Chains A and B, each alone.
Chain A
Amino acid sequence: MMLELLSVPAVILILGAFVLPLIPERFRSIAFITFPLVALVMVWTMPEGNLLQVPFASYELDLLAVDGLSRIFGIIFALITVIGGVYAFHIKDLGQQSSALAYAGGALGVTFAGDFFTLFIFWEIMAAASSYLIWARETKESAKAGMRYLLVHIFGGGLLFTGILLHLSSGGSLYIESIEPAYTAANIFMLLGVALNTAVPPLHAWLADAYPKATITGAVFMCALTTKSAVYVMIRLFPGWEILIWVGVIMAIYGTIYALLANDIREILAYSIISQIGYMVTAIGIGTELALNGATAHAFNHIIYKSLLFMAAGAVIHATGTSKLSEMGGFAKKMPLIVGLYMIGALSISGMPFLNGFVSKTMISGALGDAHLEWPILLLLIATIGTFLHTGLKLPYFTWFAEKKTDFEVSSIPTNMKVAMGLGALFCILFGVAPQLLYSQLPYPTDFQPFSIYNFVEMTQILVLAFVGFWFLKNHLNISSTISLDTDWFYRRPAGVVRTVFVEFPNNLFGLAETFSLQIADRLSGLSENPIKVLLPSFVFSGREIKSDGFTASMSAALAFILFGFIVAALFVLL
């Protein structure tokens, strides 16, 4: 039984998290890459089907449900963990390495879970393990942000679990299968739980709050795993839920506007995740085979270019010590390689032909076109323009090319970070020029052809004019040292009041009660020391003090004799 568990890729990674501390430090980074590599090979070579059942109470849990959809997500999660491992090769922080492995294990577990119970367990492992990647930054801000992140995810897990329990109690199956669009309480709770991890507004604020505060290497894992595993679950459970079409469009625009306003480079990238997931959610809402293929392909590509972008942003922070556009500028010549690699990722996400974003974005707009959803197409195009504006133009321009705003040193970047970024860029180009490599792995067979004159004309015109617009209007973009208020306002702003009402007030009340009861106990114990003092207070009689607890010398002597007599009598009787 235990040996069979080793055939689960998620178990390998979580086991790795526990084995890592036992490995000598100089081999640890290699081991850190080896575990996900093993998992990658396993995912790649597993046959399809439900490969491992484990009895649990009166249920049979399905730990390893492999099909086309779970395999492609499994491949990309394992692959990005390997690349993230290369990027973090120089890190000697055992806590970060172990939690990253457990986190990736959670994502793989969710991917191959065949039943809701297994899904939920791995879902929670992801939340707990990823929180440490924020705390490991060891700043006051990250400590608070990590706690908020964990609390929000526990809340999301609660929503999901409530949904699962309601689903089971209303006769639903424990096994994961697509749910008919019906707004029952069970479905709504499950949808909300999944939507929280997918970062659907207004449940999205944890993402833009936490990712910019995570460690440089931790953010690379985070940007790849949590939201995309939730996208996977959404594809599984809610394909064809029409509400998701518009939810996705709103996400895409919402994320774009916030990304345009953000000052922190990783906050721009974090909001851009929300915007990109909007495309996937829209596609899931359409629910056709082409649309679900598009959502899957876009999640796959997104993981590659977004982690590349986060890696480049991390390199900038590593080199300069700052992450704010309001403090940077004018050092493109000091890191040309990073700038180049970043631009590959940025043009990919913007949908430039021959890079990977193009081959999946066109698939989603093709699916929208087939469904005659004209306004979503036009609005998603606006989000594409916005993506090019903030990730493709604003961020690189104000980070590297614009006038220098403050003085800072630019230190060198470890080679392993550059290698990892090179790998990311390589995949961006590879799937961009040879989309068949990706298409052949998609859950539904497809003969989709992205390279049409129509698509070239569309993207060229959009991107060229967006660039021209940026060039003339760039001074209207925000690069001041500000933060953006988002829906986290609702739990961050009242935090002080909540703390006063629910923590400090009860705390003070208990404190008062404690002091009061201790004082009473103190008095009572004083009383019990010599009750006669209280019952018969001392008094003054004809000029001399009569002590109620004292005796005259003769009385004491008499009492002593009586006591002595008792002892002698007792001894006599006993002996």
Chain B
Amino acid sequence: MKNWHWIALGILLITSLILEFTYLADYASHWWNHVPAFYALWGGLGCAALIFISKGLGKIFILSDEDYYDA
């Protein structure tokens, strides 16, 4: 990842936040619309949760040796 990649992502995120606080300020079709930057939070937290939950489940019982069924 080069610096300009991060800058581009930052601009995208800031643009979406500006849009959210200007155009969607009084938009409330779901309860979470009252939480500022909810989708960003959900995206970040969901991503971390998925990675760690799948890692944990993999360790507990899902992942196995490639020759598991041949043995």
Interface residues of A (CB under 8 A from B): 256-258, 260-261, 369, 374, 377-378, 381-382, 385-386, 389, 453-454, 456-458, 460-471, 473, 476-478, 480-486, 492-493
| In the complex with contacts A381-B46, A385-B43, A464-B12 CB distance below 8 A | yes
| In the complex with contacts A385-B43, A476-B51, A484-B19 CB distance below 8 A | no
Give the A-B contact count at a CB cut-off of 8 A.
139
- The verdict on B7 contacting chain A, using a C-beta distance below 8 Å, is no
CB distance from A417 to the nearest CB of B (A): 28
Contact between chains at A493 and B69 (CB < 8 Å): yes
Contact between chains at B42 and A257 (CB < 8 Å): no
CB distance from A148 to the nearest CB of B (A): 10
Docked complex: B9-38 residues within 8 A CB-CB of A? 9, 12-13, 15-17, 19-20, 23-24, 27, 29-32, 37
List, in ascending order, chain B residues with CB within 8 A of A463's CB. Answer: 43
List, in ascending order, chain B residues with CB within 8 A of A389's CB. Answer: 47, 50-51
| In the complex with contacts A257-B53, A461-B43, A464-B12, A456-B19 CB distance below 8 A | yes
Q: Across the two chains, which residue of chain A brings its CB closest to B10?
A: A464
Contact between chains at B46 and A454 (CB < 8 Å): no
List, in ascending order, chain A residues with CB within 8 A of B42's CB. Answer: 378, 381-382, 385, 462, 465
**Which 5 pairs from chain A and chain B are nearest by CB?**
A469-B47, A465-B43, A461-B39, A465-B44, A462-B43
| In the complex with contacts A453-B24, A482-B63, A483-B68, A385-B47 CB distance below 8 A | yes
Docked complex: B35-71 residues within 8 A CB-CB of A? 37, 39-44, 46-55, 57-58, 61-66, 68-69
| In the complex with contacts A456-B19, A457-B16, A469-B48, A374-B55 CB distance below 8 A | no
| In the complex with contacts A257-B50, A457-B16, A460-B16, A369-B29 CB distance below 8 A | yes
List, in ascending order, chain B residues with CB within 8 A of A462's CB. Answer: 39-40, 42-43, 46
| In the complex with contacts A381-B42, A465-B43, A485-B68, A457-B58 CB distance below 8 A | no
Q: Once bound together, how far apart are the Cα atoms of A260 and B62, in whole Å?
A: 12
List, in ascending order, chain A residues with CB within 8 A of B44's CB. Answer: 465-466, 468-469
Contact between chains at A465 and B40 (CB < 8 Å): yes
Main secondary structure of the interface of A (DSSP, over half): helix
| In the complex with contacts A463-B43, A485-B68, A369-B54 CB distance below 8 A | no
Contact between chains at A460 and B62 (CB < 8 Å): no
List, in ascending order, chain B residues with CB within 8 A of A467's CB. Answer: 9
Q: Across the two chains, which residue of chain B brings its CB closest to A459?
A: B39
List, in ascending order, chain A residues with CB within 8 A of B29's CB. Answer: 369
Q: Once bound together, how far apart are the Cα atoms of A453 and B29, in whole Å?
A: 14
Q: List 27 A-B contacts (CB under 8 A).
A: A258-B62, A261-B54, A261-B62, A369-B30, A378-B42, A381-B39, A382-B42, A382-B49, A385-B50, A386-B50, A458-B39, A460-B13, A461-B40, A462-B42, A462-B43, A462-B46, A467-B9, A468-B47, A476-B51, A478-B55, A478-B58, A478-B63, A483-B64, A483-B68, A483-B69, A484-B64, A485-B61
CB distance from B70 to the nearest CB of A (A): 9
Contact between chains at A482 and B65 (CB < 8 Å): yes
| In the complex with contacts A369-B30, A453-B23, A457-B20, A257-B9 CB distance below 8 A | no
Contact between chains at A457 and B19 (CB < 8 Å): yes
List, in ascending order, chain A residues with CB within 8 A of B55's CB. Answer: 476-478
Q: Once bound together, how far apart are the Cα atoms of A258 and B57, in whole Å?
A: 9
List, in ascending order, chain A residues with CB within 8 A of B19's CB. Answer: 453, 456-457
CB distance from A458 to the nearest CB of B (A): 5
List, in ascending order, chain A residues with CB within 8 A of B16's CB. Answer: 456-457, 460-461, 464
Q: Once bound together, how far apart are the Cα atoms of A229 and B48, in whole Å?
A: 35
Q: Once bound together, how far apart are the Cα atoms of A461 and B53, in whole Å?
A: 22
Q: Once bound together, how far apart are the Cα atoms of A565 and B42, in whole Å?
A: 115
Query: In this complex, which of B47, B58, B61, B63 has the most chain A Cβ atoms within 10 angstroms of its Cβ?
Result: B47
Q: Once bound together, how far apart are the Cα atoms of A228 and B30, in whole Å?
A: 31
List, in ascending order, chain A residues with CB within 8 A of B68's CB. Answer: 483, 485
Contact between chains at B51 and A469 (CB < 8 Å): yes
Contact between chains at B47 and A481 (CB < 8 Å): no
Contact between chains at B43 and A466 (CB < 8 Å): yes
Contact between chains at B54 and A260 (CB < 8 Å): yes
List, in ascending order, chain A residues with CB within 8 A of B37's CB. Answer: 461
List, in ascending order, chain A residues with CB within 8 A of B15's CB. Answer: 460
List, in ascending order, chain A residues with CB within 8 A of B48's CB. Answer: 469, 473
List, in ascending order, chain B residues with CB within 8 A of A482's CB. Answer: 58, 63-66
Q: Across the two chains, which residue of chain B brings its CB closest to A462?
A: B43
Q: Once bound together, how far apart are the Cα atoms of A177 and B54, in whole Å?
A: 40
Q: Once bound together, how far apart are the Cα atoms of A261 and B51, in whole Å?
A: 9
Contact between chains at B63 and A261 (CB < 8 Å): yes
CB distance from B60 to the nearest CB of A (A): 11
Q: Across the two chains, which residue of chain B brings its CB closest to A465?
A: B43
| In the complex with contacts A464-B40, A465-B40, A471-B1, A477-B51 CB distance below 8 A | yes
Query: In this complex, which of A378, A461, A468 has the most chain B Cβ atoms within 10 angstroms of its Cβ?
Result: A461
Name the one of B1, B43, B64 contacting A464, with C-beta atoms under 8 angstroms: B43
CB distance from A256 to the nearest CB of B (A): 7
Q: Once bound together, how far apart are the Cα atoms of A385 and B46, in whole Å?
A: 7
